[in-house]
Amino acid sequence: MCGSELHALPEGVQRVSQALQEAGHPHLPVMLDGAARTAQEAADGLGVQLGQIAKSVIFKRKEDGVAVLVVTSGDRRVDEKKVSALVGKIGRADADFVKAQTGFSIGGVSPVAHLHPPVTLLDQDLWRFEDIWAAAGHPHGVFRLHPEDLKRLTAAPVAEVVQSQQEGIS
């Protein structure tokens, strides 16, 4: 991209693209023809395994109202008790909170370029894959990266934050 293409992209994707460029990330966002609001839609649109989708889940820390971002594999379900043990008690975040804190709508929350930097945790299960894909600030936008890139871009710790396989997958 030479720069002019960015202006045709949605504002959230422009923000993510700029953050990735500034970080020297080699893969800029791409826009899918279909929506990728869910991990399954993204996997289907990209032709990859569900677990290769790095889904961003936002919670609200009860103690101070800070956003907590958990980036997990698309085939895993966040264990809220495990997350609470690491960052303090959390609760569900509604769409207005997510938009106000991140600048992104649910279904397009990127792990980078948030309006207000969240407390972030990365699911260790993402390291099962060489290549993963994350939302790029819009339900149709995604970008490719390696799990180590995600760690570098977010400066977040890697933790066990998902339910065990016996507890179910969604």
Pick the CATH number of 4-162 from 3.30.360.10, 3.90.960.10, 3.40.50.150, 3.40.50.2300: 3.90.960.10
CA end-to-end distance (rounded Å), the chain: 36
Supply the pLDDT for residue 36: 84
Cα separation of 66 and 152, whole Å? 22
pLDDT digits (tens, 9 = 90+) for 71-93: 999 999 999 999 999 999 999 99
pLDDT score of 1 more than 80: no
- What percentage of the chain reaches a pLDDT higher than 70? 93
| pLDDT interval class at 114 (50, 70, 90) | very high
User: Per 3-state DSSP, what percentage of the chain is helix, strand, and coil (rounded to 5)?
Assistant: 35, 25, 40
**Over 80: is that where the pLDDT of 169 sits?**
no
pLDDT digits (tens, 9 = 90+) for 23-61: 999 999 999 988 888 899 999 999 999 999 999 999 999
Average pLDDT of the chain to the nearest whole number: 92
Model pLDDT for residues 144-166, shown as the tens digit of each residue: 999 999 999 999 999 999 998 75
**What's the average model confidence in pLDDT over 17-27?**
97
**According to the model, what pLDDT value does residue 160 have?**
96
Predicted local distance difference test score (pLDDT) of residue 137 = 96
* pLDDT band, residue 9 (cuts 50/70/90): confident
pTM of the model: 0.91
Are 51 and 76 contacting, i.e. CB atoms less than 8 angstroms apart? yes
What phi, psi does 114 have (nearest 5°)? -75, 150
Closest C-alpha among 153, 162, 42, 155 to residue 108: 42
Amino acid 8: pLDDT: 80
Residues counted in the chain: 170
Q: How far is CA 12 from CA 4, 20, 143, in A?
A: 16, 12, 13
